[in-house]
Chains A and B, each alone.
Chain A
């Protein structure tokens, strides 16, 4: 079993839809959770960073962490074609030098 599981998709939704992207994990020591967005042929960019359970909102993006269920989500409201990209979840524990990444979900927003 992988430490982090993420459905690779692809996921295709119409413009304006609410998108939900999810990851599950098995290591209860994970404390820091991140979402990266990667456009085609580009390096990943940090989109959201959360610590501890709960929600964090940034514009149209909301990151949610449920440590009891070992489950994290990224919600995109009012999705735009420019949101089309691969989204990778990543997480790590206190003092660790490395992130553990999900496989990434390829998302397409159709105009």
Chain B
């Protein structure tokens, strides 16, 4: 069966510090990978998605970046965090081929920027 792991679960970072959130998927090959952000009481905002190694699509301009160094690894980064980067970050995967839309989410990473 497929599983998705995301870490760290919680972190508190000062403004201006770097960020690295990591996500890995097991039990599948060539998945599509996604990073979402969910602000308190609000819906899901798609930040990045990737259909293959080194292929990153950005949905919104911001000081975050994403990388996919391996087929089942997706990393969200920032060089300098802003207060507005606080939120709940979710990694997700879907089937790369025969995709009918189902997304499977990780447990999330809660980021507080002070």
Residues of A participating in the B interface, judged by any CB pair closer than 8 Å? 8, 32, 34, 36, 41-46, 49, 51, 88, 90-92, 95-99, 101-104
Contact = CB atoms under 8 A, between A and B. Distances in A.
A43 B106 contact: yes
Interface of B: 6, 32, 34, 41-44, 46, 49, 51, 57, 88, 90, 92, 99-108, 110
Given A42-B107, A43-B107, A92-B101, A97 B43 contact: no
Please classify the interface of chain B as helix (H, G, I), strand (E, B), loop, or mixed, using the class held by over half of its residues: strand
Contact of B99 (A42, A49, A97, A101): A97
Contact of B101 (A34, A41, A102): A34
Contacts of B105: 36, 43-45
Contact of A97 (B32, B102, B110): B32
B102 A46 contact: yes
Contacts of B32: 97
A46 B51 contact: no
B102 A103 contact: no
A36 B90 CA distance: 14
Nearest to A51: B100
Contacts of A34: 101-103
